[in-house]
Amino acid sequence: MSKSADFSSASLAARPWDARLARRIVAPLKEGPVTPNHVTTARLVLGLAGAAAFTCGTYGWSNLAALLYVVSNFLDHADGELARLSGQSTRIGHVYDLASDAAVTILLFLAMGVGVGAAPGPGLALPVPPAALGAIAGTAVALIFFLRMRIEELAGKVASRQGSFGGFETEDILYLLPVVTVCNAVTPYLIAASIGAPLFAVWVVIDYRRVMRRAKPAVADSTSGTGLA
């Protein structure tokens, strides 16, 4: 086996479980008419439908919303895998993918807040309106997406990659959303998100500042190198 084949196998094995599964599923599509942007659009539509379902606030609609979101989140990996397999990776497609990710995730938390406020459960006593909690979590997520995009621009995609353990990434916790809705625990989840998302955003801000400090000497060196002796 060649070194490149070894590297490819090792790289695939290091990828998250959902990305590996997505790669297997979309592999037959690489020669067909389906493009990565088609998959991204399906991800966006399902994610927006899930957010809309959450605004109803009822048990049934919340479970449907969680299911739609999980499928949408999985398709977020499928479009990237299809792009790599088919050689159709483009800058526009990448930006479209990032914008869809941000829109779906931000609206998810906003919709949860609206839904909790529309159909409050027994014992609900929040010092802050549920919609405000959703806005806090959504705003933190928006900041995280923006900073990770800037980190990728400054230091490459590897630098913006989130932490993983055992083939699972930080964001994979969202796959547990159906468990949350089945257990009728959307309100505690929303409260946890309104606390956890800002804390994670602080960590990303620190990481961004670290990348910025590393990028400044490199920019200075490249600028000085263009000067005349």
Residues in Cβ contact with 155 at an 8 Å cutoff, skipping those fewer than 6 apart:
211, 214, 215
Supply the pTM of this predicted model.
0.79
* pLDDT score of 6: 40
Rg over alpha carbons for the chain, rounded to the nearest Å, is 20
Distance CA 169, CA 23 (A): 17
* pLDDT score of 212: 86
- Selected residue with higher pLDDT from 2 and 201: 201
Q: How confident is the model at residue 226 (pLDDT cuts 50, 70, 90)?
A: low
Angle CA(25)–CA(38)–CA(149) in degrees, nearest 5? Answer: 90
Considering only CA atoms, which of 55, 50, 81, 85 is closest in space to residue 65?
Answer: 50
Phi/psi for 30 (5° steps) reads -65, -25
- CATH class, range 8-219: mainly alpha
Collapsing DSSP states into helix, strand and coil, what is residue 169? strand
Q: How confident is the model at residue 29 (pLDDT cuts 50, 70, 90)?
A: confident
Considering only CA atoms, which of 72, 97, 190, 84 is closest in space to residue 148?
Answer: 97
Find out whether 225 and 165 touch, Cβ atoms under 8 Å.
no
Mean pLDDT of 62-89: 91
Q: What is the mean pLDDT of the chain?
A: 82
- For 156-200, the pLDDT digits (tens) are 765 555 555 555 566 767 888 999 999 999 999 999 999 999 999
Please report, rounded to a whole number, the percentage of residues in the chain having pLDDT higher than 70: 78
Q: Which of 16-20, 106-110, 162-166 has the lowest mean pLDDT?
A: 162-166
CB-count burial class (<10 Å; 0-12, 13-18, 19+) for 120: middle
Mean pLDDT of 60-85: 92
